[in-house]
Amino acid sequence: MNSRERILATIRHEEPDRVPISPRVWAWLLAEHGSQNLATHLRVFPDMDQMQPCDDGTFNPLDAYPDAYAIPQVRVEQSKYQEGDFTVVERTFLTPAGNLSDRIMIPPPGREFGVNPNPVRTEYLVKEPADLPALRYVLPPINTNYDFLTGLQRQMGDHGFMQITVRSALDHNAGHARDMAELMVDYYDNRPFFDELLDIFHQRSLQQIKAALEGGAEFIFGTWYFASLSAGWSPAIFSEVFVPQIREHVELTHRYGAGYNYYDDGRLAHTMGMIAATGVDVLETCTPAPTGDFDLHTAKETIGTKTTLKGYIDLLHVVKEGTPTLIDHAVKTAMEIGKPGGGFIIGSSDSFREGTPRENIAAYFAACHRHGRY
């Protein structure tokens, strides 16, 4: 079987020739090879069953800081300067509905910050309900030109699938426009404000999914880690607020005959049943203890007959810091639990990180081949 056939059979809960091998490797590739694009994935890992996410092409001013902005009816005043190790970006968006400002500190890649460090926000764009009309102006139109996807799909061929990344209302959206701790307070103290802010981005995400599917996307890669219990939300709030949003994502995706891959690299033990009930096709990353709380045996018995489980192997304690013997044992155990009846794609708890020994990467793939055959 080729990778496309193998992945599809697994998601249909059929037993293919072997369990698909699809870890996240972008951070390791960036550190070791200077690139994490599709060509590098295919060259360095030719036997990997690719489920490769890519951006949808929509500019997100909450997550990017170019020297010039092209946002209709909005002028941006921006300054960049160094403050110690950090590049500081201070911006003011001048809109017909008022001005919004923020301040971001960007650490340099490498060193203690990691190969792709997260920025630190010391001032958030949205400070009060009165900022929401201006926020609507700051968000540019979504991308509807998917000519780029055709080339990537041709390059991918039978090695797997391209996935279009569409983030949840919180991920890199409301959670970057307003401090997450403030959002959690807003839920209790100003629910209309909380609901309107999230709905701005949720409706936008639905537009992104629709554009991607009409542009030929076969999979939507939906990220939901800002909505995770690991971020501080309760199971009750997750059920009330986020489950309906997930369901809308999935139902829209399925109307176009495409698949939905739900991504949360945090705790899933108390939410996986709710997530599975929305009809997601794949649940990723299924992070085990001690980093997460995912029990593969429980998941296989409860949601694993309908939802494909992807990931599970600990990128830090097993693959980066472990030995080939430990890696082999972890993979063997995962296969014994997840393999029967299909519905299991072996992967990783997130991307293999910089500093992971090459021999451990090789041991991981060798173990997946050794123990993954049906």
Q: Are 154 and 272 in the same domain?
A: yes
Q: Is the pTM above the cut of 0.95?
A: yes
- pLDDT score, position 46: 95
Q: Cβ neighbours of residue 331 under 8 Å, at least 6 residues apart?
A: 313, 346, 364, 367, 368, 370, 371
CA distance 305 to 276: 10
- pLDDT score, position 345: 98
| Domain harbouring 284, CATH code | 3.20.20.210
Q: Please confirm whether the linkage preceding 285 is cis (ω < 30° from 0).
A: yes
- pLDDT score, position 114: 78
Q: Are 220 and 331 in the same domain?
A: yes
Q: Are 235 and 330 in the same domain?
A: yes
180-189 and 191-214 helices, crossing angle to 10°: 120
CA 187 vs. chain centroid, Å, equals 24
Instruction: Answer whether residue 68 is part of any domain.
Output: no
pLDDT digits (tens, 9 = 90+) for 207-264: 999 999 999 999 999 999 999 999 999 999 999 999 999 999 999 999 999 999 999 9
The pair of structure tokens assigned to 297 is 């045996």
Per-chain mean pLDDT for the chain: 97
HSE-CB at 54 with a 13 A cutoff on CA atoms is 22
Q: Are 17 and 155 in the same domain?
A: yes
Q: Are 123 and 225 in the same domain?
A: no
- pLDDT score, position 192: 98
CA distance 360 to 364: 6
Q: Are 131 and 147 in the same domain?
A: no
Q: Are 360 and 292 in the same domain?
A: yes
HSE-CB at 17 with a 13 A cutoff on CA atoms is 8
For the chain, give the percent of residues with pLDDT over 90: 97
CA distance 170 to 227: 7
Q: Domain residues for 366?
A: 3-58+142-371
Select from 121, 138, 155 the last residue of a domain: 138
CA distance 180 to 299: 29
CA distance 366 to 368: 5
Instruction: Answer whether residue 256 is part of any domain.
Output: yes
CA distance 24 to 165: 14
Q: Could you identify the residue written with the tokens 């001005």? A: 99
Instruction: Give the residues across from 101 on adjacent strands.
Output: 92
Cα-based angle 210, 8, 246 (whole degrees, multiple of 5): 40
DSSP H or E stretch at residue 260: strand 259-264
Q: Are 239 and 165 in the same domain?
A: yes
Q: Are 131 and 155 in the same domain?
A: no
pLDDT digits (tens, 9 = 90+) for 164-188: 999 999 999 999 999 999 999 999 9
- pLDDT score, position 117: 84
Q: Are 243 and 300 in the same domain?
A: yes
Q: Are 7 and 117 in the same domain?
A: no
Domain count, the chain: 2
Q: Are 152 and 122 in the same domain?
A: no
pLDDT at 58 over 80: yes
DSSP structural state of residue 316? I
pLDDT at 298 over 90: yes
